Homo-oligomer: A and B are copies of this chain.
Amino acid sequence: MAAGSQVQRASGVALWRQIADRIRASIANGEYDETGRVPPEIVLATQFGVNRHTVRSALAALAQEGIVRAVQGLGTIIERKERLNFPISRRTRFIEGLGAQARETEGLLLESGAEPASEDLAQRLRLAEGAPLIRLETLRKADGRPVSRATAWFPASRFAGIDEAYRNSGSITAALNALGLSDYLRVTTEITASHAERADMEDLGLSAGAVLLVTRSLNADTKGTPIQYSVSRFPADRVQFTIEN
C-alpha cells in the first residue's frame, strides 16, 4: 500500500478526523481482534503517511468516544467494538429486531407535540393537507448506548394519547397496542446516509463529521391504512441493516 494513499490534505476534513474514522471502521470490522489493540502510533503514522502527532489526535478523539484507551508503555486498547444489526422486513420491530444483540433496550420520549400535516406528510399518510398529527421525538438505546434518534408522525384523530402511551412503555409497538392496534406492517423503507447534524450528534453522543444511516419508513395497519411515518437516524459506525429475502 502506498504511504498516504488513504487520506487527503486540504480537503476541509482534518487528517486526524479522517484517520479516526478509518480506525473506528477497522475496529468495527474486527481487523484488530487478534491483539485487542490498535497498532502502535508510529506504525499507523507510517501507514497513513502522516506525523505521529496527527495519529495521536485521531486516537484522542476515539478515546473521547470511549472506543479505545491508551496506556503508556503498553499500547492503545480497544474498549468497545460493537456494531448492531437491524433486520428490515415487513414486520420490522425495533426491540425484537435487536434480539440477543442487546441485554436491555429502552425508548425515551424526548419531546412530543401536535402539528398540521405538511403536503409531503399528508400524501404519505393519505390524509388531507393540514390534518392534525402527533409528532414524537424519541431516542432509543441498547444497553445504555444510544442507537437511534427518530421522529414519528401519527394521525391525531386515531392515535390521541400515543405520546403518553409511548412515555409509559418506551415502545411504539406497545403504545399502539395500548391504543387498540394489535398489529401493523412496514409498507416501505427508504434508506439514505448523511452527516450528522448538531442536534442528532448531541442526542446520539457523536462527534462532528459522524455518518448517519437514515431510514424513512411508512407503517400501515393490517387493512393497509397508513398509521405512522417516521424518520430514524442511526450512527453508521454502530449499526448496519440487513434485508433477508
Could you list which residues of chain A lie within 8 angstroms of chain B, going by C-beta atoms?
5-8, 11-14, 16-18, 20-22, 25, 61, 83, 85, 88-90, 185-195, 197-199, 201, 207-209, 211-213, 236-237, 239-245
Q: How many identical subunits does the complex contain?
A: 2
The distance from the CB of A104 to the nearest CB of chain B, in whole angstroms, is 24
B-side contacts of A16, CB under 8 Å: 12
Residue of B nearest to A213 (CB): B193
B-side contacts of A18, CB under 8 Å: 195, 208-209
Contact B90 A11 (CB under 8 A): no
B-side contacts of A241, CB under 8 Å: 190-192
Contact A242 B189 (CB under 8 A): yes
Contact B13 A198 (CB under 8 A): no
Contact A193 B208 (CB under 8 A): no
B-side contacts of A186, CB under 8 Å: 245
Instruction: Please name 19 further chain A to chain B contacts, defined as beta carbons within 8 Å, in addition to the given A12-B14, A13-B13, A83-B192, sorted by A numbering.
Output: A5-B199, A12-B13, A12-B207, A12-B208, A14-B14, A18-B208, A89-B245, A90-B245, A187-B244, A188-B243, A188-B245, A190-B241, A191-B213, A191-B241, A193-B211, A193-B212, A194-B236, A195-B211, A211-B211
Interface of A is mostly: mixed
Interface residue from B13, B83, B192, B240 paired with A17 (Cβ < 8 Å): B13
Interface residue from B11, B189, B242 paired with A209 (Cβ < 8 Å): B11
The distance from the CB of A226 to the nearest CB of chain B, in whole angstroms, is 13
- Given the contacts A13-B209, A17-B13, A243 and B88 also touching, CB distance less than 8 Å: yes
Of A88, A193, A198, most buried by chain B (CB within 10 Å of CB) is A193
Contact A8 B191 (CB under 8 A): no
The distance from the CB of A149 to the nearest CB of chain B, in whole angstroms, is 15
B-side contacts of A207, CB under 8 Å: 11-12
- Given the contacts A188-B242, A243-B191, A208 and B17 also touching, CB distance less than 8 Å: no
The distance from the CB of A33 to the nearest CB of chain B, in whole angstroms, is 12
Of A83, A85, A90, A198, most buried by chain B (CB within 10 Å of CB) is A198
* Measured CA separation A212–B191 after assembly (Å): 12
B-side contacts of A13, CB under 8 Å: 12-14, 17, 208-209
28 contacts between A and B (CB under 8 A): A6-B197, A6-B198, A8-B198, A11-B208, A12-B13, A12-B17, A12-B207, A13-B209, A18-B195, A25-B195, A83-B192, A85-B190, A90-B245, A185-B245, A187-B245, A188-B242, A189-B243, A190-B240, A190-B242, A191-B242, A192-B239, A192-B240, A193-B212, A194-B211, A194-B236, A195-B209, A209-B209, A243-B243
